[in-house]
Amino acid sequence: MINLEQLIRPNMLSLQPYSSARDEFSGSEGVFLDANENPFGEWNRYPDPFQNTLKQKLSEIKAVQPKTIFLGNGSDEIIDLCFRLFCEPGKDKALTFVPTYGMYEVAAAINSVELIQLPLKENFQMDIEAVEPFLNDKNLKLIFLCSPNNPTGNCIDNIEYLLENFNGIVLVDEAYIDFSTKDSLAKKTNQYPNLIVIQTLSKAWGLASARIGLAITNPEIVKLLNKIKPPYNISQLNQEKALEILSDTKNFEFKKKMILKQRTILQNELAKIDFVVEIYPSETNFLLLKVNDADAIYNQLIEKKIIIRNRNKVLANCLRITIGTPEENHILIDALKNIQL
């Protein structure tokens, strides 16, 4: 059983949070002369600091209670806030399996937290034997698991083993879960108080420019995250745009289906190209491929103004390709067929 008080940095527990004008009076009717806002205009008022309308909508879509949702300015903000909340700089540690999403390492470095990086196994699964010796380290506060994982594209198995055998926080980054055939762990936050599931509107919902990420977790952690976040971290414009996009579930399903169909088409076309050594199974909106010469292929595509991600430095001769529109994918395949090696 976790002891949340022992996991939180002491200064965060005792912190007196900033009390905004909207914290002190939350009604919507009246003459508002309390927040030094400009009285004129359409966008002159500060937004709801706790994004209650948006959380209500998200709670219906995700089938979780609003009090279990925290919203960040992109999931990147949530990753940073988790380091700040749980890890004492220069003392506490976090752990992840690599290759994975690069922001865990950057956010750890920004917060002066050591990030232990264990290699994923050859099948891109977590190495339980390798992680076992770290689980009793009192200074290990956070384990990051990206599932489906970026850049390998697969879901990680056995996450519940960690939830049951680690007394710190297990943060599961489900940025790509809407493209996956596997279930989200979001509903398991009732069962595991040490689980934080993060998701985003940047991928399947197509709202990367609005910067909205979600943490679904136990309400005590939501309260603590609320305490340390910047007061108005999601703009009114972005909250309204998100509500509009979230109301159009038909469009969401249509685009998701298109992306998944295009993924299959791209997979089939790539398999016909002789320098493609392997196409890894994907539960996401991208494909990871092993090729003969990733640098040469990447550079030739760049010359044609086709930009993919060269992952050669983290996985030898691997390229990551985001699924585009049918036209974009067609342009890519044409260009790949004309690569000179």
Ligand X SMILES: Cc1ncc(COP(=O)(O)O)c(C=O)c1O
Q: What residue ranges bind ligand X (CB under 6 A)? A: 74-76, 101, 146, 150, 173, 175, 200, 202, 208, 213
DSSP 273: S
**Quick one: 66 or 213, whose CB is closer to ligand X?**
213
Smallest separation (angstroms) from ligand X to the CB of 204? 12
Smallest separation (angstroms) from ligand X to the CB of 27? 31
Chain residue at closest Cβ approach to ligand X: 74
Smallest separation (angstroms) from ligand X to the CB of 15? 24
In the chain, the DSSP E strands lie at 69-73, 93-98, 114-119, 140-146, 169-173, 195-200, 212-217, 276-279, 286-291, 309-310, 318-322
Smallest separation (angstroms) from ligand X to the CB of 107? 11
Query: What separation in angstroms does the CA of 227 have from each of 71, 84, 87, 169, 196?
Result: 12, 12, 16, 18, 17
- Side-chain half-sphere CA neighbours of 13 within 13 A: 10
Are the C-beta atoms of 279 and 270 separated by less than 8 Å?
Answer: yes
Annotate 225-245 with DSSP letters as a single string.
Answer: HHHHS-TT-S-HHHHHHHHHH
Smallest separation (angstroms) from ligand X to the CB of 274? 30
Burial class (CB in 10 A: 0-12, 13-18, 19+), 158: exposed
**Quick one: 22 or 153, whose CB is closer to ligand X?**
153
- For residue 255 the two structure tokens come to 């685009």
Smallest separation (angstroms) from ligand X to the CB of 325? 19
- Smallest Cα–Cα separation from 96: which of 318, 319, 316, 314? 314
Distance CA 93, CA 86 (A): 9
Sheet holding 69-73, edge to edge: 69-73, 212-217, 195-200, 169-173, 140-146, 93-98, 114-119
**Quick one: 200 or 310, whose CB is closer to ligand X?**
200
Distance CA 254, CA 256 (A): 5
Smallest separation (angstroms) from ligand X to the CB of 86? 18
**Quick one: 200 or 233, whose CB is closer to ligand X?**
200
**Quick one: 32 or 252, whose CB is closer to ligand X?**
252
- For residue 9 the two structure tokens come to 């940095």
Smallest separation (angstroms) from ligand X to the CB of 209? 9
Residue 289 forms beta bridges with which residues? Answer: 279, 319
**Quick one: 200 or 317, whose CB is closer to ligand X?**
200
**Quick one: 75 or 154, whose CB is closer to ligand X?**
75
Smallest separation (angstroms) from ligand X to the CB of 111? 17
**Quick one: 8 or 213, whose CB is closer to ligand X?**
213
| Cβ neighbours of 26 (radius 10 Å) | 11
- For residue 198 the two structure tokens come to 């993060």
**Quick one: 15 or 106, whose CB is closer to ligand X?**
106
